[in-house]
Amino acid sequence: MSELAVDICVLGAGPAGYVAAIRAAQLGAGVALIEKGELGGTCLNRGCIPTKTLLKTAAVYEEIAHAGHFGIRLCKDAASVDSAAVLERKDTVVRFLRSGIEQLMKKNGVTVCKGVGRIQSSRCVQVETAKGGLTVRCDKLILAAGSAPLVPPIPGADADGVLTSDDALQTAEVPGSIVIVGGGVIGLEFASYYSALGSVVTVVEMKDRILPGEDAEISQALTRLMKKRGVKFKLGVKVLRIDREKGGLNTQIEEKGVCSSFSSDRVLIAVGRKLCGLTPDAVNLGLKENRGAIVVDEHMRTSVGGVYAAGDATGGRLLAHLAFAQGRIAAENAAGLNTSAASLVVPACVYTEPEAASVGLNEETAKQAGFDCMVGRFDFRANGRSLSLGNRDGFVKVIADKSSGVLLGACIFGPDASEMISELTLAVTLKANITVLSDMIHPHPSLAEAVSEACADALGRAIHK
């Protein structure tokens, strides 16, 4: 068995792991990165990037379907979907980005160990590679094992035709009908994709509204618009079982004590993700854990000296951009710096049509925190850029502390919300006064003007409302 000695060993090459490896190498550390699958982890290979690539296809298809609104006349049945080509484009994008990460490893001198890593101690990892065993000895260890699709114990969840998000991204098929179990981010993004391409979609959610962690107005507005596009919702229900029947699947649900069922070609389980950090060997290290998550402090240190953790394995909000930040912070502290995650402000985005994005406190959580709030809102239907783009739906909403004027949080529902949220994330990070955003000159015409108008509305001086 061969050996490799490094300063820092990173276990897992997803967003947290590969960023940690690069940052540690930038700081002069010798780094080994261990990964059993492909570089980039879930986000690049089975999550963020492939889903957004598919959603772009759906958006183009819908734009063609509504070309008449822009004065463009098309022949009947002018557009059709080549599912195999859609899948190939997705794979091409993923391969390109993955090759970029591979080049970054070489550029920064990171040793990539392809294989299954098993922790022997806080300073030793055994790797089973295709060429045999490898012992990696290190001074510091960073755990970034990520997460995987969660499949709840529903009878029949393993039936033929029942998919996880991983499965859905590997098939070119657009089913005639599909039941999506879960009304969170993953479920709704797939609902947008399938419905745009012609599937009859039913979303089943245990809570009484979709996106239960988001501002209630976003949940209501998105539900209304998705219903207009043909998506059906069953909210506040429990899935009892899934049965394979002739020609498809039968999903049985319970709603207020009443049982019912409906048939579909496919069922997608999208109820969330399970954390992968607490493997038996990690448990043997004596790591402190909380409901399956590795407990870390603000420096991403675990309860075991010399061991750090970052990304989904630490629980909380399972977001790739948060994993990027945590991986960087873990690497910097492992390399001897003193970096804290305590002040991180984390935006969240949902890539439905329209998009939704939020940062900081929403109206409900701000009131629960004891703030006397000013709330401002501006609808995109009064925004010139939005109307010229053919997007009338949505709004910007801001929440500020009435006594100080400091922006506490904001949400956006509408076109390019994921691109617009960064301005508000910066404002929350800097504890900016909403007067600054209200008075700041935004280009005209632009969607971002809605941000300044929403802030002005909270101050009682919106111009276009």
CA distance 442 to 172: 42
Angstrom CA distances, 380 to 219, 411, 420, 448, 465, stand at 17, 13, 13, 10, 11
Q: Which residues are CB-neighbours of 122 under 8 A, at least 6 positions away?
A: 141, 285, 304, 305, 306, 307
Tokens standing for residue 405: 């004027």
Distance of CA 412 to the CA centre of its chain: 16
444 in active site: yes
How would DSSP label each residue in 301-341? B-SSTTEEE-GGGG-S---HHHHHHHHHHHHHHHTT-----
The residue from 66, 299, 444, 464 that is catalytic is: 444
Residue (of 405, 426, 419, 407) closest to 447 by Cα position: 419
Residue (of 97, 99, 16, 104) closest to 52 by Cα position: 97
Strand partners, 138: 6
How would DSSP label each residue in 177-240? EEEEE--SHHHHHHHHHHHHTT-EEEEEESSSSSSTTS-HHHHHHHHHHHHHTT-EEEES-EEE
- SS3 of residue 371 by DSSP: coil
The burial of 46, by beta-carbon neighbours within 10 Å (0-12 exposed, 13-18 middle, 19 or more buried), is given as: buried
Amino acid at 427: A
End-to-end CA distance of the chain: 71
Catalytic positions, written as ranges: 444
